[in-house]
Chain A
Amino acid sequence: MSAATATAAKSASAPGAANPRGPRHSIMSRSAAMLIMGVFTLYFLTPIWWLLVSSTKTGGQITGTAPLWFTLESVPTFLANLGNLFTYSDGVFGRWLLNSALYAGLGALLGTVIAAMCGYALAKYEFRGREAIFNIVLSGVLVPATALALPLFLIFSEVKLTNTLWAVFLPSLVSPFGVYLARIYAAASVPTELLEAARLDGSSEVRTFFTVSTRLMAPALVTIFLFQFVAIWNNFFLPLIMLRDQVLFPVTLGLYAWNSQISQIPELRVLVIVGALVSILPLIGTFLALQRFWSSGLGAGSVK
């Protein structure tokens, strides 16, 4: 965004560039920046607004009324849609939400712990092959998760774990980017002197890690957790390939399956829309709750 602002400022000040640092320049550049940010905000929020509005309509109203504004009976329709969503097909949608919460919540938590330990070890301990290991992990960042789905399916088939929750849960625990971030952050924020002091006081390495180091690394850990949570929540391809039993589906796959039925079962259209709205609420909630850590964590990682 800063690059965009700078460009905008330059072009805004070009016509009457007598006094580039004057108040006029400042107002021009500010309003240009605001304009650009406003356009982007609109661009990103309009689909969500549409989703919100559409979820308060019946199937017929979605096509028959103004797409970006509510109808008169919005509230009762929304409640009815919500009721249908959670009762359709024996309330399987609720189950999907719980599954997503389990995969994403627990997966991100354990994944963060693993990434933190790994990154911390790579940052704070000297051992042979340390850089080699780090480079291998780093190259993992470059491999898209989608490309690994099919090989994973064949491996999980060998051990007869396809179509179980493990098939989605276990691969979710691994986050090469998390390891990278944890290492960078641990190197910068955990002073080696502090660890030596802890050792002198007789604290074991594991205890030092959990009681001292993790607190110092907290912003990075929250960042890793959020990244992982979002990645797992939005993960679609792996569950698509692994899961057959609809009680194991995460909410993304469930909605996709419903969406692929719309031409045959048109009433699913409304359920997909309301379901999509409900499915992004946990993400928004998590973001708002952890927002402060998120930004400080990102900033700290980026300058080192």
Chain B
Amino acid sequence: MRAHYGKATAAFAIVSALALAGCSGGGGASETEASATSCEPASGPVELTFTTWVPGMDKVVDLWNKENENIKVKVQTGPNGNSGTYQNFFNQLQAGNAPDVGQIEYDALPNFRVQDGLENIAACEGVADAQDKFVDWTWGQVTFGEEGAVYAVPQDSGPMAMFYRADLFKEAGIEVPTTWDEYAAAAEQIKARGSYITNFPRSDVNWFAGNVWQAGGQWFSSANDQWEVNLTGDESAKVANYWQDLLGKGQVSTLPSFSDEWNASFNTGQQWTWVSAVWGASTLASGAPDTAGKWAVAPMPQWEDGGKAAGNWGGSSTAVLKGSKHPYEASKFALWLNTDPEALALANELGGLYPAAKSATDLDAFAGGVDYFGGQKIYEVFAEASSNVDPNFTWGPTMTQTYTDVSDGFGKAAGGNGTLLDALENGEKKTIDSLKSQSIPVKE
């Protein structure tokens, strides 16, 4: 593992050097090595800006501002990352007025790293020691496995499990599936009753990636100073063929996710399960209110009998952006924001965040049973899932483009035109082209 990390470091160093030379054009190639710059506190009072799109975050920051006279944080907001805030960050980085602290999802972090948009805060007080406070895999996401480097503090996560209609399964006498084979068998029986086992989310490629993640696949890796793109490895192909089979038999629906029809389909009992992330609990509760009390949560179906692997869908980090004049104070704030029990509780209450901190399990919000799920303590299932997420999964530097290309193909496959595997093959090709066009070294 160490050896692998070392190579990754070199690859990232080269990549960012090239990105600097190729894109930003000026500013000089500062430290592109994974060595943290020194991180000293400022002598006087400091004002930080923090851009986030989580609703209610201003209230959480108020808690901080009350206790920290000398480090005032000002909250800025906008639409979610891919809807505009990431582009704004890149514009601001170019103009030299990026916020000190910004919310960045895990799958977008490598993009910012490659464009040299992140400060390495490993040397800042308390950052390196904070590793134990966060769920293992989230720490891997913010360090990219580089030695002596930390580029962000994990904020929230989306460990996956299976929401299912306990009442319908019981009534029909169908066992709740624990493996994907059983899941496919159940899909057939449910289809025979005129319903669907689930909806295939043709535009949520990150959901699909979560499934590949569970299966032990890797879409991106870096070795020999190059990125390697592999959307069609054995695990990806296995997952793609599995869902292709269900699609082909018409045993899953293909409604656009989170749309009105989609909600209605869940609300009227057309959908029996939803393999989704922890935040899906509130999506269901508000989208399908008529089915309250009838749902339950079980671990994701497994590829191997008795397995425990889980995937992840979503989640963000709190990063210190390049050019911040106060990385010491910024990382102090980022650590507080994502570990302080009061802050975590409020961020969950107002913003629906499921913290990446291990201490999440101690919060009242995650301790009790949830009425919508018949009083089940669903967060125990998700906490267990979170500890079973593979910590080595790596995102690529061009996820927005990859998502778009793959989801185009998924949409066609859902319409009976081509297969999911075709879509992944095409996405892989386009991703390699895109990396090449940005002068990012990539293995062909």
Contacts and interface: CB of A to CB of B under 8 A. Distances in A.
Interface of A: 59-60, 62-64, 67, 89, 150, 153-154, 157-158, 160, 162-163, 240-241, 243-246, 253, 256-257, 259-269
B184 interface: no
Interface of B: 49, 51, 53-56, 76-80, 83-84, 87-88, 91-92, 94-97, 99, 257-258, 260-261, 263-264, 267-268, 279, 282-283, 285-290, 351-352
B125 to A, nearest CB: 28
The 6 closest A-B pairs by CB, nearest first: A266-B286, A157-B95, A244-B76, A60-B289, A63-B264, A260-B79
18 contacts: A59-B286, A60-B267, A63-B264, A63-B288, A67-B260, A89-B55, A153-B91, A154-B94, A154-B95, A157-B92, A157-B96, A160-B97, A240-B79, A241-B91, A244-B51, A244-B88, A245-B76, A265-B352
A235 to B, nearest CB: 14
B83 A256 contact: yes
Nearest to B353: A264
Contacts of B261: 63
A89 B285 CA distance: 21
Contacts of A64: 264, 267-268, 289-290
A132 B212 CA distance: 61
B79 A157 contact: no
A260 B51 contact: no
A241 B95 CA distance: 12
Contact of A63 (B54, B263, B283): B263
A63 B263 CA distance: 6
Given A154-B95, A257-B79, A260-B79, A241 B88 contact: yes
B258 A262 contact: yes
Contacts of B91: 150, 153-154, 241
A144 B2 CA distance: 52
Given A154-B94, A154-B95, A263 B258 contact: yes
A244 B267 contact: no
Contacts of B288: 60, 63
Contact of A62 (B78, B88, B258, B260): B260
B323 to A, nearest CB: 12
Given A63-B264, A261-B80, A266-B283, 15 more contacts: A59-B287, A59-B289, A62-B263, A63-B260, A63-B267, A63-B287, A158-B95, A162-B95, A163-B76, A240-B78, A244-B51, A259-B79, A260-B53, A265-B351, A268-B55
A267 B56 CA distance: 14
A239 B83 CA distance: 14
Contacts of A246: 76-77
Contacts of A241: 87-88, 91
Contacts of A162: 95, 97
Contacts of A153: 91, 95
Nearest to A59: B286
B314 to A, nearest CB: 8
A166 B51 CA distance: 20
Nearest to B262: A63
Contact of B279 (A63, A264, A267, A268): A264
B103 to A, nearest CB: 12
Nearest to A149: B91
A244 B258 contact: no
Contacts of A259: 79
A257 B78 contact: yes
Contacts of B84: 240, 256, 260
Residue of B55, B267, B289 with highest tally of chain A CB at under 10 A: B55
Residue of A67, A158, A240 with highest tally of chain B CB at under 10 A: A240
A260 B80 contact: yes
B350 to A, nearest CB: 9
B56 A89 contact: yes
A261 to B, nearest CB: 6
Nearest to B260: A63
A130 to B, nearest CB: 37
Given A59-B289, A163-B76, A264-B279, A244 B99 contact: yes
A246 B83 CA distance: 16
Residue of B78, B92, B258, B289 with highest tally of chain A CB at under 10 A: B78
Contacts of A62: 260, 263
